Amino acid sequence: MNWNSAAEFFAMGGYGFYVWGSYLVALVCIVGEIALVKNRQRTSFKQLGLTRHPDGDV
Amino acid sequence: MNWFKYAAPSSFYFLAGKMIPIFAVLAAVSFAVGLYVGFFVAPTDHQQGEAYRIIFIHVPAAWLSMFLYLIMAFWAGIGWAFNTRLSSMMATAIAPTGAMFTFLALWSGALWGKPMWGAWWVWDARLTSELILLFLYIGFMSLQAAIDDPRRADKAGALLALVGAINVPIIYFSVKWWNTLHQGASVSLTKAPAMAATMLNGMLIMSLACWMYAIAVILMRVRAIILERERHTAWVGEIKK
């Protein structure tokens, strides 16, 4: 185990800003991309006059 | 099994729909395992302290940015050469995800460079060629968006993607060919990896996770593109019923 406390974990040995800055932005990018793709899918359903796809909303 | 069956957008559409949940689950599980190994199992680096943990997102993102570009160029080329609609749609679907991983590689690299090199950015060969990769992805997407006729957009995009593919080996070998601040490859096929086994495992599992994620999201996007482009065809008409 590398960490003795949660505070130590978040501090990342003083590099917290850099480490969490990388992972947080990665998370935002991934969540954002999924939202954009879902939105694109919904738009294409709407163009066809569908609210939901018969084989699942993905 | 006749694999060419799935070269038709109408069959691939439903196959992709079945595959997406599988890849999504694999991505979620491998991200969880990879992050656990990266943050709780892998030891502190004796030179870089905890800052090195950026590696678990930086290297997978950089690998994916290059691999996805090659796959995009491959499908764009196939679509151009054989006039297969689905291949070109695949290339179009890959570009935004490739651009996203390129951005992440640059971003995490900047956040790693600052504490280790004292600079967010330097104009060295590795960083500059990776930035050019981002511009190639953006160029590919803008070019395709600027052309109304999808088949012409496919061809123009394919030309750009194929010419730009020369940049990928330049990125990969840049650390060998030029003097650069960026460290050399930590993992190669010919040498033992220059890092602890748990660090390497964390990196490989995170790479697997990024792959699974990329496949899932690209399949989702290609399905949207198929519907957009094929909305006047008979099989899409069948879905509506």
DSSP state letters, B101-141: HHHHHHHHHHHHHHHHHS-S----HHHHHHHHHHHHHHHHH
pLDDT at res. B236: 85
Q: Determine the distance in angstroms separating the CA of A30 from the nearest CA of chain B, rounded to an integer.
A: 8
Count the neighbouring beta carbons within 10 Å of the beta carbon of residue B106: 20
pLDDT at res. B194: 66
How far is Cα B41 from Cα B48, in angstroms, rounded to an integer? 17
pLDDT at res. B3: 67
Crossing angle for the helix pair B125-146 and B150-164, to the nearest 10 degrees: 170
Its ipTM equals 0.90
Chain B hits for A23, CB-CB cut-off 8 Å, are: 57
Start-end of H helices in A1-58: 6-11, 16-47
pLDDT at res. B241: 66
CA A53 to chain centre: 23
A4 touches B at CB < 8 Å: no
**Distance set, CA B138 to CA A32, B118, B174 (Å):** 17, 29, 22
Q: Give the confidence band of B206 by pLDDT, cuts at 50, 70, 90.
A: very high
What's the pLDDT tens digit per position in B79-115? 999 999 999 999 999 999 999 999 999 999 999 999 9
Using CB atoms, pick whichever of A23, A40, A47 lies closest to residue B57: A23
A6 touches B at CB < 8 Å: no
The phi and psi torsions of B45 (rounded to 5 degrees) equal: -75, 135
Among A38, A44, A37, CA closest to B236: A44
For residues B130 and B66, the answer to whether their CB atoms sit within 8 Å is no
pLDDT at res. A1: 63
Shortest CA distance from B98: residue in chain A: A33
Chain A hits for B108, CB-CB cut-off 8 Å, are: 22, 25-26
Q: Tell me which of B191 and B73 has the higher pLDDT.
A: B73
pLDDT at res. A56: 58
Count the neighbouring beta carbons within 10 Å of the beta carbon of residue B82: 10
pLDDT at res. A54: 62
pLDDT at res. A48: 84
For the record, the structure tokens of B121 come out as 């950015």
Q: Determine the distance in angstroms separating the CA of B227 from the nearest CA of chain A, rounded to an integer.
A: 6
Q: Tell me which of B179 and B124 has the higher pLDDT.
A: B124
Res B20 pLDDT > 60: yes
Chain B hits for A40, CB-CB cut-off 8 Å, are: 221, 224
Shortest CA distance from A36: residue in chain B: B221
Among B73, B225, B213, B222, CA closest to B139: B73
A24 touches B at CB < 8 Å: no
For the record, the structure tokens of A53 come out as 């796809």
What's the pLDDT tens digit per position in B107-130? 999 999 999 999 999 998 999 999
How far is Cα B99 from Cα A16, in angstroms, rounded to an integer? 26
Chain A hits for B61, CB-CB cut-off 8 Å, are: 26
Q: Tell me which of B232 and A21 has the higher pLDDT.
A: A21
| Contact yes or no for B240 and A49 at CB 8 A | yes
Q: What is the mean pLDDT of residues B11-18?
A: 91
For the record, the structure tokens of A22 come out as 């990388």
How far is Cα B43 from Cα B198, in angstroms, rounded to an integer? 8
Look over chain B and give the mean of its residue pLDDT values, rounded to a whole number: 92
A39 touches B at CB < 8 Å: no
How far is Cα B64 from Cα B209, in angstroms, rounded to an integer? 11
Shortest CA distance from B114: residue in chain A: A18
pLDDT at res. A58: 47
pLDDT at res. B6: 79
What's the pLDDT tens digit per position in A1-58? 688 899 999 999 999 999 999 999 999 999 999 999 999 998 888 888 876 666 655 4
A20 touches B at CB < 8 Å: no
